[in-house]
Amino acid sequence: MRWRSHILLGLAVAFLAIAPALFGTFTITLMNYIGIYAFAALGLVLLTGVGGLTSFGQAAFVGIGAYATAWYTAVQGGSPWTGLLLALVLSGLAATILGAATLRLSGHFLPLSTIAWGIAIYFVFGNLDALNRYSGLSGIPPISIGPVSLGGTTAIYYFIWILLGAVMLLCRNLLDSRQGRAIRSLRGGVAMVESLAIDSFRMRLAIFVLAGVLAGLSGWLYAHMQRFVNPTPFDIRPGIELLFMALVGGAGQIAGAVVGAAIVVLLKNVLQDVLPAVTRYSAQLEVVFFGVLLVIILQKARGGIVPMIRRFLPRPVPIAPVAAAPLARRARPAVTDQAVLRIDRATKRFGALAAVNEVSFEVRPGEVLGLIGPNGAGKTTLLNLITGTAKPSAGQIVFLGDDITTMAPRHIASKGMARTFQHVKLRPNMTLIDNVLLGTYPRTHSGFLAGAFRFDRVEERSARAEALQQLQRVGLGEKFGDLAGNLPLGQQRMLEVARALAANPVVVILDEPAAGLRQLEKRTLSDLLRNLRGDGMTIVLVEHDMDFVMNLVDRIVVMDFGAKLAEGLPAEIRADARVQEAYLGGVA
């Protein structure tokens, strides 16, 4: 069924190729603007739709690119190609500084500061003598490739659209690679992302800088096509038009950038004909129109236009992973008496309440340790301390001989600890196999460029084979191409287990893995866990289902009111009077 999308794409390319023969200069100029805006809108699509961030200052980054090359070529007499380098470096640098300052804070600080930044940069352009203040810079030379000048409308048309096509292809490749999946996983909470050894801050920064660089590229093209720049197009107002392009086309859809840019450019063209008849302030009122449309879109059709069209196209059939060389496996500690994990008087206080109070125990290599206790006993808090999600108020936690007490979750994860969550944390809009591939993140190495240029295919094939294997292990191999959100809860839990296993961890921490599972699924899970133990995996398990725990685990730690109540073999725990009292409220 893929051919239908391919035909659509082929038609679009053919149309773009013959457009200059069909239309006059005016239409081709409009299409040039569509292409140029599409670069900046593409940045916002990646940032807003994929990364879950947003920027109102995208036009300011376009301005940096445009002014950088304008100043370098028109004032300094340099070459546009060096100007390109300058435009990309400066816009990337500005994005890095702004992002580094704001991206550790919660989500609204970045967009807010982009408003302030957008206004500030406009005043900078307008007040610098070197940039000829509000009058702007003129006499910018056209781009030329060797002896061929791209000064003509048609010449630059082909240049813009071929470049745009290439950039869109690179972005698509990137999203379908190791780092791209990590970026796609950003939306929906950092706890899961960090538990997969992904540095969420670095990913946010990367996507923000990428958006900034795309805007810089857009600015470079703009300056050399327009041959003149002034501050007006880089104010905060065009920033909202760019955001409108990204959202109307369909945030998260790469094609949405082009669709959105086309809609805005064509609408503006109509407005420029109509508005002057109604009002004297037509230039300012375009944005009123877009503002109203934007509110309506966000209220009524948040998905944008491309997903609406896509609904009528068949969903592409997922490509099955092929056999490939296995990913490197982690060396497991031999089954000895040396503890894999040692918790030493760990304490966590919330104000006066000690949710975990001086709990000590050890986890030995290759064992399945059950952690049980009544509701509110502090089991999940203890797991959070072990996995680094929360920091202990006192005490020490040692994993594989290293003190991890104050280590960040992603560092602990990359040392070989994987976990599942009490409330399942998956990415419902990603496929099963993509969710499991996230688990392989700490075992793989491809960077952003490798992903964009597809130098990562060998490793990617191995990772996909591994992911499929783990899916098959939990009984979901057939459904690898389905969306995770379509699974029933029980299978979502199994999917989380598969994701944890894909990391090839030394220790797996399972928080109530059997909750919500049907009897048959529980049996599959306990068979799987027994298999894993056979492979030498160490498992820590919080669970309420006593049958499940008693039949599976080697040893049990019982917690009550934050403290350790008992520790021992299942049979000993079953016979322990204190445990019975804690569970049954006193033996009659």
Give the interface with other proteins as residue ranges (CB under 8 A).
48-49, 52-54, 56, 97-98, 100-102, 104-109, 111-113, 115-117, 119-120, 123-124, 127, 187-191, 194, 200, 237, 240, 243, 247, 251, 279, 281, 284-285, 287-288, 290-292, 294-295, 298-299, 302-303, 389, 391
To the nearest whole angstrom, how small is the minimum distance from the Cβ of residue 297 to other proteins? 9
CA dist 256 and 565 (Å) reads 58
Smallest separation, CB 103 to other proteins (Å) = 8
How would you classify the pairing of strands 341-350 and 353-363? antiparallel
Q: How far is the CB of 57 from other proteins (least distance, A)?
A: 11
Sequence-separated (6 or more) residues with CB below 8 Å from residue 203: 51, 179, 182, 183, 186, 193
Instruction: Give the residue with the Cβ less far from other proteins, 105 or 320.
Output: 105
Q: What is the nearest approach in angstroms of other proteins to the Cβ of residue 441?
A: 19
Beta carbon nearer to other proteins, 64 or 579 = 64
Is the Cβ of residue 355 or residue 556 nearer to other proteins in the bound state?
Answer: 355
Name the 3-class secondary structure at 588: coil
Segments in 45-184 forming alpha helices (H):
58-70, 80-102, 109-127, 153-175, 178-184
Q: Choose among 451, 455, 449: nearest CA to 437.
A: 451
Percent helix, percent strand, percent coil in the chain, to nearest 5: 60, 10, 30
Bridge partner list, 557: 371, 567
Nearest distance in Å: CB 243, other proteins: 7
Strand order in the sheet with 507-511: 417-419, 507-511, 538-542, 368-372, 555-560, 563-568
Q: What is the DSSP string of 235-298?
A: SHHHHHHHHHHHHHHHTT-HHHHHHHHHHHHHHHHHHHHHHHHH-S-HHHHHHHHHHHHHHHHH
Nearer to other proteins, 107 or 536 (CB): 107
Q: For residue 91, with 0-12 CB atoms within 10 Å meaning exposed, 13-18 middle and 19 or more buried, which class applies?
A: buried
- Greatest alpha-carbon span in the chain: 97
* Complex with other proteins: residue 237 or 443, whichever CB lies closer: 237
Q: Coil, strand or helix: which one is 104?
A: coil
Residue 406: phi and psi, rounded to 5, are: -115, 15
Nearer to other proteins, 30 or 285 (CB): 285
Closest to other proteins by CB, 145 or 295: 295
Least distance from other proteins to the Cβ atom of residue 49, Å: 7
| Site of tokens 């099955």 | 320
User: Closest CB to other proteins among 428 and 447?
Assistant: 428
Nearer to other proteins, 279 or 531 (CB): 279
Q: How far is the CB of 158 from other proteins (least distance, A)?
A: 34
d(CA 527, CA 496): 16
Q: Are 233 and 279 in contact (CB under 8 A)?
A: no
Return the SS3 of 125.
helix
Query: Which backbone phi and psi does 318 adopt, to 5 degrees?
Result: -65, 145
Query: What is each CA distance from 274 to 281, 498, 548, in whole angstroms?
Result: 12, 58, 72
For residue 455, the minimal CB distance to other proteins (Å) is 31
Contact 80, 141 (CB under 8 A): yes
Nearer to other proteins, 294 or 483 (CB): 294
User: Measured from the CB atom, is 303 or 318 closer to other proteins?
Assistant: 303
Let me know: does 543 contact 493? Beta carbons within 8 Å: no
Under DSSP, the state recorded for 45 is: I
Our CB check for other proteins shows the closer of 97 and 166 to be 97
* DSSP 8-state symbol, 514: T
What dihedral angle (degrees, nearest 10) is formed by the CA atoms of 221, 226, 232, 233?
Answer: -40
Minimum distance, C-beta of residue 190 to other proteins, in the bound complex (Å): 5
Q: Which amino acid is at 125?
A: F
In terms of CB distance, is 200 or 420 closer to other proteins?
Answer: 200
Min CB(326)–other proteins separation in Å: 34
**At closest approach, how far in Å is the CB of 351 from other proteins?**
14
Q: What is the closest distance, in whole angstroms, from the C-beta atom of residue 376 to other proteins in the complex?
A: 18
The Cα angle at residue 255 between residues 317 and 216, in degrees rounded to 5: 135
Sequence-separated (6 or more) residues with CB below 8 Å from residue 108? none
- Residue 379: CB minimum distance to other proteins, A: 19
Nearer to other proteins, 17 or 97 (CB): 97
Cβ within 8 Å of residue 277, ≥6 positions away:
none
What is the closest distance, in whole angstroms, from the C-beta atom of residue 444 to other proteins in the complex? 25
